[in-house]
Structure 1
Amino acid sequence: MSTSRIRKEVDEALLAFVDRQRPTLLAISDDLTPLLSALDVLLAGGKRLRPAFCYWGWRAAGGADCAAIVQAAASLELLQASALIHDDVMDSSDTRRGQPSVHRRFEALHGAQSWPGDAEAFGSGAAILLGDLCLAWSSEMFETCGLGGDRRRHARDVYDMMRTEVMCGQYLDMLESTRGEATADTALRVVEYKSAKYTIERPLHLGAALAGARPDVTGALTAYGLPLGIAFQLRDDVLGVFGDPGETGKPAGDDLREGKRTVLIALTLERASSAQADAIQRRLGDPDLDRPGVDELRTIITETGGLAACEAMIDQYLTDAEKALTSAPVTPEAHQALSELAVAATTRSM
């Protein structure tokens, strides 16, 4: 199955699942319509990487193409929706996927209705609840995917670990930003648990577990998936500073305003002069950082060699992933698809 076809079938599975839930919510109250509308907008975007890796983990382990694996893989998009909604609340992000973030959407609803009380608190509370609902629905969609009970129960261990790891990684990310002292090593720890495992390695493991994969297949998927997941997040960090808003769906330099202590920033600080480090410490995390301020930080990141060092790391991790895939005991079709996904995950345009 092609990547575009997987995305189409995942989209259809998500739409069908949410449509099945819709009458239940509206039977409770029509006031829940804005929750469904906000979720519809959020689910309309996204690259569907996690479902794609889950599907190809299944195929790599010898699983046959079927609707049930697409349903199981699509459940990861509801987990991702939960993570994004909560992440945007914690980061006070205004946009997501080129649209107002969920908490800003509900904040605007509060203002439009002229309700009493704090609009920002209402927006945050509504977003947290919708994120919780998506988390619950991700489990429901997975458990009702139609795959056999024994394999599904075994794979549920992977699903549970995946959710635990991403929440721990999110906490570590918040902690590093608060401390303001992240090194490249501590930033890489965040990358591993918040993104690399969550985006690529565990989805591969989930699909493989559902197919009853042998240990050598699971090990090969780790050797490929973990370095690729790190490369993916490092590329995302670069895009968070230098990316085109039309590609990223967020304002230029938004990661700088949010004060994210990424590997890119750590590598820059390691190479910066005292004056350059002072400028970074002063401007990083300023919510009012304007375009000249963004340009100043971009210049420092480039001139210190921080950007070049990060690009070199991306290249090395991608090479490690490709080398591991070369000898992986997976089906030829899966080998080709995973090779293409590696390129797609790490060569996004700036």
Structure 2
Amino acid sequence: MLGPRPTVAGPGAPDDAPLTAPGATRAVEAVLGQVLEARLRHARQTDAVAARDLAERVAAFSLRGGKRLRTAFVWCGWRAAGGSGDTGPVLRTGAALELLQACALIHDDVMDGSPLRRGAPALHVDFARGHRAARMSGSAESFGSSAAVLAGDLALAWADDLLTETALASPHGARLHGEWRAMRTEMVAGQYRDLKAQASGSSSGEEALAIAELKSALYTVARPLALGATLAGADPHTVDALRAAGRCAGLAFQLRDDVLGAFGDPLLTGKPADDDLRTRKLTHLLATAVRLAGTTGDHEAAAVLAAGPDARSPQTVERMRAALERTGARAEVEARITELAAAALRHFEATGAGARVQQEFTVLVERAAGVAPRPAEELV
């Protein structure tokens, strides 16, 4: 049986009335819906049980919320490099990124044991609940984790299929696929470094930044910008400037995520606010607090920040939050976020992109970093 035919987006807006980044994001969501509809049809033809239990969950998860930042940055990269005309390839690339992100989140929740994602039970929790409700044999938790791994694998397969279809139809397909291939490897490397750092109890600031760069700076911003620029046939100078802008904006995004992981409101973030502290996840925020506690001789902060898993009661988590504040780590990280956001704008300006695209990038950086970026000269 033949697989689903490539999903083609509808005609793009004419060049004299280009979509804005929010408009492109809405268009990508429409394309994503079309892609998922085709994938579900094929899944049902393959096996009705797996389609109902697995594929439908993946599709629903992929369509349910999320910031869609990667999609917006793909669009910004395409426009910054002079992209115009047919928007189909860039919209399909954005949809592929959303499917890859679904894979990353599903697997990440399994590895971190997170119960909540996008305001709903994480997929491994949902599968476990279904196991209990059906009175199936064996461990519900083991079943839930195994099924969620398969769900993430399916999302990855769909993402690769869509990107490959897009690359095969593009005159820049080889370069596009090269960016995609590098991004997937970086994402996995960053996830493994994160897993290993947590298992080893590392407090290294260098390690925390390496993880942030691989998992977030490159994957969330730098590579999406480069993917969009590649589809527009960008020259090396433009791609290099976009990668530099993306690295800074992506690090700002990850440092903001670190702060929200310790101090965020679950009603706003859609995920628990104590997971990073409860599991002692190595973040730049934690590494900074450990360094400052050692520098100032704050032995109480150093002890609570190094507490083992058995000691991480709700009271210990609150003491960890207090230590992050008292050592000055939160304030230092906030200042670093502002610096990185400003540097991102400076690098993006070097692409020579028009004022409208620069403004859209500024808004995206503000969303990602949680700060209003200021020109670099104001930070001196």
Aligned to 2:262: 241
Aligned 1:89-104 pairs, distance under 5 A: 89-104=110-125
In the alignment, structure 1 residue 31 sits paired with structure 2 residue 31: no
Aligned to 1:339: 362
Residue of 82, 107, 131 corresponding to 2:103: 82
Aligned to 2:27: 9
Note if contact 2:176-2:231 (Cα within 8 Å) is conserved in structure 1. Answer: yes
CA 1:4–1:287 in 2, change beyond 3 Å: closer, same or farther? Answer: farther
Note if contact 1:257-1:286 (Cα within 8 Å) is conserved in structure 2. Answer: no
Partner amino acid, structure 1, of 2:48: D
Q: What whole-Å deviation, never above 9, does each CA across 1:25-54 have from its counterpart, x for those lacking one?
A: 122333221223322332211010111111
1:212 and 1:340 map into 2 onto residues whose CA distance is 25
2:218 and 2:324 map into 1 onto residues whose CA distance is 27
- Count of equivalent residues: 347
Aligned to 1:312: 335
**Deviation for aligned residue 1:177:** 0.9
2:191 and 2:140 map into 1 onto residues whose CA distance is 26
Note if contact 1:38-1:105 (Cα within 8 Å) is conserved in structure 2. Answer: no
Residue of 294, 300, 323 corresponding to 1:275: 300
Aligned to 1:42: 61
Comparing 323-332 with 264-273, greater Cα deviation is found at 323-332
CA 1:59–1:128 in 2, change beyond 3 Å: closer, same or farther? Answer: same
1:268 and 1:95 map into 2 onto residues whose CA distance is 27
1:264 and 1:336 map into 2 onto residues whose CA distance is 29
2:124 and 2:214 map into 1 onto residues whose CA distance is 25
Q: What whole-Å deviation, never above 9, does each CA across 1:193-248 have from its counterpart, x for those lacking one?
A: 11100000000111111111001101110221111110110000000000011111
1:36 and 1:288 map into 2 onto residues whose CA distance is 37
Comparing 135-144 with 226-235, greater Cα deviation is found at 135-144
Partner amino acid, structure 2, of 1:340: V
Aligned to 1:69: 90
Partner amino acid, structure 1, of 2:106: I
Note if contact 2:81-2:238 (Cα within 8 Å) is conserved in structure 1. Answer: yes
Note if contact 1:68-1:147 (Cα within 8 Å) is conserved in structure 2. Answer: no
Note if contact 2:106-2:152 (Cα within 8 Å) is conserved in structure 1. Answer: yes
Partner amino acid, structure 2, of 1:238: V
Aligned to 1:163: 184
**Deviation for aligned residue 1:287:** 9.4
Note if contact 2:21-2:76 (Cα within 8 Å) is conserved in structure 1. Answer: no
CA 1:211–1:286 in 2, change beyond 3 Å: closer, same or farther? Answer: farther
**Deviation for aligned residue 1:348:** 6.9
Aligned to 1:186: 207
TM-score with structure 1 setting the length: 0.94
1:287 and 1:191 map into 2 onto residues whose CA distance is 26
Aligned to 2:72: 52
Q: What whole-Å deviation, never above 9, does each CA across 1:117-158 have from its counterpart, x for those lacking one?
A: 111111111111111111111011122338743312221000
**Deviation for aligned residue 1:286:** 5.6
Partner amino acid, structure 1, of 2:217: A
CA 1:348–1:9 in 2, change beyond 3 Å: closer, same or farther? Answer: farther
Q: Which runs of 5 or more structure 1 residues have no equivalent in the other structure?
A: none
Partner-residue secondary structure (3-state), 2:138: coil
CA 1:342–1:147 in 2, change beyond 3 Å: closer, same or farther? Answer: farther
2:212 and 2:148 map into 1 onto residues whose CA distance is 25
Aligned to 2:377: none
2:208 and 2:350 map into 1 onto residues whose CA distance is 30
Note if contact 1:258-1:286 (Cα within 8 Å) is conserved in structure 2. Answer: no
Partner-residue secondary structure (3-state), 2:137: coil
CA 1:148–1:332 in 2, change beyond 3 Å: closer, same or farther? Answer: farther
Note if contact 2:21-2:75 (Cα within 8 Å) is conserved in structure 1. Answer: no
2:371 and 2:23 map into 1 onto residues whose CA distance is 20
Aligned to 1:218: 239
